[in-house]
Amino acid sequence: MPSDRSNEADFVRPVRRLVLGVIAVVLLALFLLWRIDSPRVERFRMAVVDTVVPNMDWAMAPVTRVTRMFEDFRSYARIYEQNQELRRELQQMRAWREAALQLEQRNAQLLDMSRVRLDPQLTHVTGVVMADAGSPYRQSVLINVGARDGIVDGWAVMDGLGLAGRIAGVGDRSSRVILLTDFNSRVPVMVQPSGQRALLSGDNSRVPVLEFVESAEALRPGDRVVSASDGGVFPPGLLVGEVVQGTDGRLRVRLAADYGRLDFLRVLRSRPAERIEQSGTLLRPLDAAGTPLDPATGEPLFDAYPDDESLAPAPNVPVMPVPGAPDLPVGVTTAPQADAEISGSADE
């Protein structure tokens, strides 16, 4: 038995060496064949590839099928996650829709109760942001609406949600918008619900500073900031943002406008408020007897109380002079004199 095993080992070793030598020669020949740069060799290589590769599809089929299974599973997982996210967003949108309907009904009721008249002239023109003309020292953009669209210098500009800036230069076909973050921007604002008035000053940062606050102790982070009508710069009530506490301890405003996506801007057509020049249209002067006078002519107005005759002043009644009383013009009497005359006649 030991001799048979030794004979078998002596036979296997030369065969193994021969097989390894043949494999090495074949690999070397393939290497040289693939390295030779010759048209004939290139055609031979292409013929070998065309003959061998199609016949290897059966070996690659399981790998291809498994790869497709993994891709389908990943795609299914992504679709499932997107479906769940859409369901959550749809549920939130339904809640917001219900809240919006309730607020709309409530707003209609309040408007009907208070008989509020909205400004019909406060319309808008939408423009596309053509270029960002800003720099580290200037924050402004250009839009494609100008004088031909009726744009006027100083009008307010919004991005659809909050106040973004104002018109600061009008051309025929374009306009420049200076943003609220610009260092030269100064906008009067009002903080709600405290009603504090302040000045929003840009400092080339995303959160402008609140300056000249009447009472800083009354402000809290998260308070709503809207535009004020002081100086006639902007229409009142436009959303600006909310109050935040800066890292430097100063009160700042997180703007509602999304300055990272200023693709479209709305320019509000605001008209200047009507100014009352004559004080007489507000307060009517009175004479010594309390009768309203016409501010233009100075004549008494006897039709000041046309609906209620009991409120109209009584006509002047001539009275007898009282001893010791000061002389008054004829036909003019006073309430104390009338009371004295009545009491004197009663005593008599």
At 225-257, the pLDDT tens digits run: 999 888 777 888 888 999 998 888 889 999 988
Q: 99 lies in a domain?
A: no
Q: Which residue has the higher pLDDT, 30 or 176?
A: 176
Q: What is the pLDDT of residue 114?
A: 61
The yes-or-no verdict on residue 4 having pLDDT over 60 is: no
* Residue 230 · residue 272 · CB < 8 Å: no
CATH number for the domain spanning 131: value is: 2.40.10.340
The yes-or-no verdict on residue 73 having pLDDT over 80 is: yes
Structure tokens at 160: 């659809």
In angstroms, the Cα distances linking 159 to 173, 198, 257, 260 are 20, 23, 6, 11
255 and 145 within one domain: yes
The yes-or-no verdict on residue 68 having pLDDT over 50 is: yes
d(CA 111, CA 130): 39
Q: What is the pLDDT of residue 230?
A: 82
Please state whether the peptide bond connecting residue 321 to the residue before it is cis, i.e. omega within 30 degrees of 0. Answer: no
Q: What is the pLDDT of residue 119?
A: 55
Q: What is the pLDDT of residue 118?
A: 47
Least confident of 23-37, 169-183, 253-267, 331-345: 331-345
Q: 165 lies in a domain?
A: yes
d(CA 209, CA 241): 12
Burial pattern 139-167, b for ≥16 Cβ within 10 A else e, equals bbbbbebbeebebeeebbbbbeebbbbbb
Q: 209 lies in a domain?
A: yes
Least confident of 54-68, 69-83, 89-103, 295-309: 295-309
264 and 185 within one domain: yes
**What is the average per-residue pLDDT within 178-189?**
91
38 and 151 within one domain: no
Structural domain containing residue 171 = 123-269
Q: Which residue has the higher pLDDT, 46 or 226?
A: 226
> What length does the chain have?
348
d(CA 125, CA 268): 7
The confidence band for 304, taking pLDDT boundaries of 50, 70 and 90, is: very low
264 and 130 within one domain: yes
- Average pLDDT of the chain is 76
Least confident of 171-175, 199-203, 239-243, 325-329: 325-329
Q: 243 lies in a domain?
A: yes
Q: Which residue has the higher pLDDT, 2 or 248?
A: 248
Domain total of the chain: 2
127 and 6 within one domain: no
With CA atoms as reference, report the closest residue to 195 among 251, 237, 164: 237
The confidence band for 62, taking pLDDT boundaries of 50, 70 and 90, is: confident
Q: What is the pLDDT of residue 322?
A: 45
141 and 25 within one domain: no
d(CA 173, CA 150): 10
d(CA 32, CA 121): 86
> For the segment 102-157, what is each residue's pLDDT rounded down to a tens digit?
788 777 767 665 654 545 556 788 888 887 755 555 688 999 999 998 898 889 99
Which of 269, 295, 311 is a domain's end point? 269
**What is the average per-residue pLDDT within 29-39?**
75
* Residue 254 · residue 242 · CB < 8 Å: yes
Neighbouring residues of 180: CB distance < 8 A, sequence distance ≥ 6: 163, 164, 165, 187, 200, 202, 208, 240, 255, 257
Q: 145 lies in a domain?
A: yes
